[in-house]
Chains A and B, each alone.
Chain A
Amino acid sequence: MNFADVQTIKEIKLMNLFEKLLGRGTAKFLAENLINQLTDEQIKERQEMFKKLEDKEVYASYQERYEHLCIMEKEYEIYIDKQNPMYSALIFFQMANQYYYFTDNTELKADIENIRTMYNKRKFFSCNLFSKYDNTRYSVDLKVIDEEYIDPLQQLFDHLQLRDDTKFDDYRIYGSLYDMVSATDTRPYAEINAFYEKYRNQLLPYVEDVLKEIPELKFYLEMKRFYNALDERNIPYSLAEFTDEKSITVKGARDITLITSNVENIITNDFYFNTEKPFWFITGANGGGKTSFLRSVGLCVLLGSQGCYMPAKSGTIMRLEQLITFFPMESDLDRGRFNSEKERLAQMSEKATTDSLVLMNEVFTSTDEMTAMRESQVVLEQMLEKKCFGVFVTHNFPLIESMQDKMPVLEAITEGDEHNRLFKIVEKKQVGSSFATDILRKYELDFDSLKRKYGDAL
């Protein structure tokens, strides 16, 4: 069973945040690596690694290691692509050249250095810039060291009718030219062939072994990039402490996804769950940050449980089995939203366990108040019976009143005037208005504004 699913990461908008800060491909990669159920050791290992990466030198060294690995992986892919056996020796050497950074094998290192020296004495130098055009062609970039080679190379290009916009200092030419160019200085080529024959059967398993590091290293480095982006915005974060007690307490949590909307001062909120208050209602002001609060809970618990930094000042969390979220989806509309929601909620209720955190946002709003109350009560009773933790965002006051003895209430309150509202989530005994009028007034659609406009006709 996974800790969360990718849909959850989308719903708490972490995916969107990753996309904006790191790009789509990385977002997908990170999301897929943040949903697994980790052991205590794995969490500890991750936390230690993040701490280590705080050191700039360590970070730089891991980055360098990652870069070598990426180049090596590319060359490895070309090498194992048997469609171009002709260049196997050269690519094999380039791959070994990268492996140099990961091995203690002195003989191998000496052989590589020997060829490198020979290469450096060449009139022109074939760099490690093999790139894959398609399945059948490769490019070779030649850096010309000695200008006397420019004319002969140009003639060669003309003869082969290669494109005429090639610059003199950086020739990108097809692999088929490699033999012809190599023929001008055959010695290193022969050495590379010898190197290939010597190591071809033994080196590959080691290379494959080292390459396995890539996903893990990528995860840490990309997450570190993510946290660097938070640093730029002065957003604090912390590693979670774990407790054996059934409780979660987080202080100063922020909905960092708001940075994509260029919100400058993201409000912080504290939250806690324990056996006495496991499941909360949230209600209150429209636009008061209920959904943001819900997201900040999701973000902290997800990242904290995955051994990453939480966007919060501090936090102690229990080892959860699952993070489950329920947000209304636009696609629900196509199937009849009420039934679709009911179906999804039934699946969710079944999935939830005692050690789950369930976040539900505006459930059953597509039906009348009483039906919504009845259906919500069923779901909430199930959750309470399972004794899992959770938050339920609603404006259904009869529902809140009917269950207030079992579930405490958080309320989104606003401070300041209507044009400059500050939002805070606080624990409440009595629930009040949703402050819809404040927003309507801002757009002059409240009763008073419309009355002024239309007079007694209204």
Chain B
Amino acid sequence: MKSLLFLEDESKIAKVFEIDELKIKDVILGVSYMDTEAREYVYNVLCKPLKDLELIKRRQMLVKDFCENQIPFDKMYRAFKNFVQLRRDITEKRRRFGNLTREHGSELFNRKIDRVKNEINYFNGIYESMNEIEKLFTFNITSPDLQEFIDEIKTVNVYMRKFVNEIGKDLVDCPTEEFNPKVFVEIDHIYDISVSEICGMNKEDAAGFKAADSSAGDLVTIGIDRMYRKIYNINNYLTTTYIDVAKELQFYNFAIELYKGFTTFNIDCTFPEFGDGPISGRRMHDPLLAANLIRQSIDMQIEVIKITHNDVSDLSSCIITGENNTGRSTFQRSIVLTNLLAQCGLHVPGVQVHFPIYESYLFCFAGWEKEDSFGRFENEVIKITEAFKYAGKNSLVITKELFQSTSYDEATESLDTIFKALLIENCTFICVTDLLKLPERFKGYEQVKHIVLDKEHKISVAE
């Protein structure tokens, strides 16, 4: 089945390092109510930002179709989620039958028949859900990927319909156990399964055969077993495929909720333009704040900081300073998290936003003493060493309050050297720091801006 996330090719996914620092989990929690498994899935997708412009555009089109073109996503999502429930049910039922062996005695035959009926009910469950999904797509679709996806569903539905409506012995006679849509055959008669239909005999013969001796019974049993295995494989194939789709749709569910959140709270949002050159945009802000705002509507306990918009232009590497609580980290996230969400194909807060496509996001935030023998400073140095391994053209290195556990002068000296080395590697860095002498070290570096936050959380570029 066609994937809607385009994550198959690893070479088209940007690298991330220590991404937890970005509080993505909090954003997910704020934007949409999801179970833990779904949250984890969305988190994993967000940890794989795309670095291929074409793929990002294709994701954006899908998000656009779901968000803006009135595709009844909710119903589709529910229908796909139904597969999860169906699989849960069948797993439970299958467990009840266990391995049916001769030890089950005279009951064996009937139990095998029941087991087959069970699988057929399961097949029908899948079939009904698929039909529901097909009926939903009568709307205008702009994304070729979505169109292709729907066409695939339609094709499978055609096969399934054939399978249900026609009588065929392929099911029994087919030499291969693997599922192949071309060997779909109808099986509605299996509900009234009888010896003759399984073995291709007439009823009289079958009755005689059945009564004659145990070898006839064996033959019948073999027939049922083959039929069971066949439909079991088909069911498994279908469910596995559709459960994967259901999981992927969790991401788009998040995308829709994010968009809904923006529109509900009148937050300007857009799909950014991508291209070489520095970051620019108007009315940009931290998506985490928007996420908290959305979350507050269902959980009054959540504290929400007033959203401050900032206009950004011609920004590449920068050193962000300011007094405590002026929103340095928030501003850093408003650039970095927004850029990352954009590379995931999502709407981002802001107007006329322009981003470069980064091939890696490398986070080096102030460390905490871990349960190893290293001190805090050394832990931070280790993080930077790791970041250097991935650093290169189109890498974004994000640092926050590094080297606080050494003297200010030594910290300034060290970061000066490290950042300059990163610039030689053609990396971009966005650094939040309390080392007020650090920006001075980059005077004359045109690509490095010193951004100062004031008490109103507004930015200005220091001379």
Residues in A lying within 8 Å of B, measured CB to CB: 16, 258, 260-263, 283, 286-291, 328, 330, 336-339, 362, 365-369, 371-372, 395-397, 433-434, 436-437, 439-440, 442-447, 450, 453-454, 457-458
A414 to chain B, nearest CB (A): 12
Contact B377 A287 (CB under 8 A): yes
Contact A369 to B436, CB < 8 A, known contacts A261-B373, A287-B378, A443-B382:
yes
Contact A445 B405 (CB under 8 A): no
A335 to chain B, nearest CB (A): 9
- Asked if B267 is an interface residue, CB under 8 A from chain A, the answer is no
10 A-B pairs (CB sep. < 8 Å): A261-B373, A286-B405, A287-B374, A368-B321, A368-B436, A372-B434, A396-B408, A436-B377, A454-B424, A458-B424
Task: Give me 16 other A-B pairs in contact (C-beta within 8 A), A291-B376, A445-B381 excluded.
Answer: A286-B377, A287-B377, A287-B378, A291-B375, A338-B324, A362-B376, A366-B324, A368-B436, A369-B436, A395-B405, A395-B406, A395-B407, A436-B377, A440-B381, A446-B414, A457-B424
Contacts of B139 in A (CB 8 A): none
Contacts of B174 in A (CB 8 A): none
A450 and B424 alpha carbons, distance in the complex (Å): 11
Chain A minimum-CB-distance residue to B411? A436
A286 and B406 alpha carbons, distance in the complex (Å): 7
- Asked if B369 is an interface residue, CB under 8 A from chain A, the answer is yes
A371 and B435 alpha carbons, distance in the complex (Å): 11
Contact A369 B403 (CB under 8 A): no
Select the stretch in B92-100, B151-159, B415-423 that faces chain A. B415-423
Contact A371 B407 (CB under 8 A): no
A137 to chain B, nearest CB (A): 26
Residues in B lying within 8 Å of A, measured CB to CB: 321, 323-325, 366, 368-369, 371-378, 381-382, 384-385, 388, 401, 403-411, 413-414, 417-418, 420-421, 424, 434-436
B301 to chain A, nearest CB (A): 13
Contact B368 A365 (CB under 8 A): no
Of B323, B401, B405, B407, chain A has the most CB atoms within 10 Å of the CB of B407
A284 to chain B, nearest CB (A): 10
Contact A369 B408 (CB under 8 A): yes
A119 and B61 alpha carbons, distance in the complex (Å): 82
Contact A339 B401 (CB under 8 A): no
Of B382, B384, B409, chain A has the most CB atoms within 10 Å of the CB of B409
List of 7 A-B pairs having minimum Cβ-Cβ separation, nearest first: A365-B404, A338-B324, A286-B377, A287-B375, A261-B373, A436-B410, A434-B406
User: Which of B368, B374, B384, B406 sits near A436, CB closer than 8 Å?
Assistant: B406
User: Which of B321, B325, B401, B407 sits near A397, CB closer than 8 Å?
Assistant: B407
Contacts of B376 in A (CB 8 A): 286, 291, 362
Contact A434 B324 (CB under 8 A): no
Chain B minimum-CB-distance residue to A395? B407
A368 and B408 alpha carbons, distance in the complex (Å): 9
Contacts of B382 in A (CB 8 A): 443
Contact B436 A365 (CB under 8 A): no
A337 and B400 alpha carbons, distance in the complex (Å): 13
Contacts of B408 in A (CB 8 A): 369, 395-397
Contacts of B407 in A (CB 8 A): 283, 395-397, 433-434, 436
A435 to chain B, nearest CB (A): 8
Contacts of A339 in B (CB 8 A): 324-325
Contact A439 B377 (CB under 8 A): yes
Contact A365 B421 (CB under 8 A): no
A372 and B407 alpha carbons, distance in the complex (Å): 12
Contact A440 B404 (CB under 8 A): no
A213 to chain B, nearest CB (A): 35
A430 and B424 alpha carbons, distance in the complex (Å): 38
Contact A436 to B414, CB < 8 A, known contacts A286-B406, A287-B378, A395-B405:
yes
A227 and B285 alpha carbons, distance in the complex (Å): 55
Contact A369 to B434, CB < 8 A, known contacts A286-B378, A396-B408, A433-B410:
yes
A397 to chain B, nearest CB (A): 5
Chain A minimum-CB-distance residue to B420? A458
Contact B377 A261 (CB under 8 A): no
User: Which of B325, B381, B421, B424 sits near A338, CB closer than 8 Å?
Assistant: B325
Contacts of B418 in A (CB 8 A): 445, 450
Contacts of A453 in B (CB 8 A): 421
B398 to chain A, nearest CB (A): 15
A145 and B294 alpha carbons, distance in the complex (Å): 70
Contact A366 B377 (CB under 8 A): no
A232 to chain B, nearest CB (A): 20
Contact B324 A450 (CB under 8 A): no
A457 and B424 alpha carbons, distance in the complex (Å): 7
A290 and B407 alpha carbons, distance in the complex (Å): 14
Chain A minimum-CB-distance residue to B322? A368
Contact A436 B424 (CB under 8 A): no
Chain A minimum-CB-distance residue to B379? A287
Contact A258 to B406, CB < 8 A, known contacts A330-B368, A338-B325, A366-B434:
no
Chain B minimum-CB-distance residue to A362? B405
Contact B414 A440 (CB under 8 A): yes
A372 and B406 alpha carbons, distance in the complex (Å): 13
Contacts of A289 in B (CB 8 A): 375
Contact A458 B417 (CB under 8 A): yes
User: Which of B373, B375, B434 sits near A263, CB closer than 8 Å?
Assistant: B373
Contacts of A365 in B (CB 8 A): 401, 404-405, 434
Chain A minimum-CB-distance residue to B434? A368
Contact A336 to B324, CB < 8 A, known contacts A258-B373, A397-B407, A436-B403:
yes
Contacts of B375 in A (CB 8 A): 286-291
Contact A367 B377 (CB under 8 A): no
B419 to chain A, nearest CB (A): 11
A288 and B436 alpha carbons, distance in the complex (Å): 26
Contacts of A372 in B (CB 8 A): 434
A262 and B371 alpha carbons, distance in the complex (Å): 11
A261 to chain B, nearest CB (A): 4
Contacts of A261 in B (CB 8 A): 371-373
Contact B378 A367 (CB under 8 A): no
Contact A446 B373 (CB under 8 A): no
A58 to chain B, nearest CB (A): 36
Contacts of B436 in A (CB 8 A): 368-369
User: Which of B323, B324, B385 sits near A443, CB closer than 8 Å?
Assistant: B385
A330 and B368 alpha carbons, distance in the complex (Å): 7
A409 to chain B, nearest CB (A): 13
Contact A458 to B434, CB < 8 A, known contacts A338-B325, A369-B408, A443-B381:
no
A453 and B325 alpha carbons, distance in the complex (Å): 38
A71 to chain B, nearest CB (A): 36
Contact A260 to B371, CB < 8 A, known contacts A339-B325, A436-B411, A454-B424:
yes
Contacts of A437 in B (CB 8 A): 410, 414
Contacts of B421 in A (CB 8 A): 450, 453-454, 458
A366 to chain B, nearest CB (A): 6
Chain A minimum-CB-distance residue to B416? A447
Contacts of A288 in B (CB 8 A): 375
A263 and B371 alpha carbons, distance in the complex (Å): 12
Chain B minimum-CB-distance residue to A370? B436
A263 and B375 alpha carbons, distance in the complex (Å): 13
A453 and B422 alpha carbons, distance in the complex (Å): 12
B73 to chain A, nearest CB (A): 33
Contact A445 B384 (CB under 8 A): yes
Contacts of A287 in B (CB 8 A): 374-375, 377-378
B463 to chain A, nearest CB (A): 19
Chain B minimum-CB-distance residue to A341? B324
Contacts of A446 in B (CB 8 A): 414, 417
Contacts of B414 in A (CB 8 A): 436-437, 440, 445-446
B329 to chain A, nearest CB (A): 9
Chain A minimum-CB-distance residue to B404? A365
A381 and B113 alpha carbons, distance in the complex (Å): 86
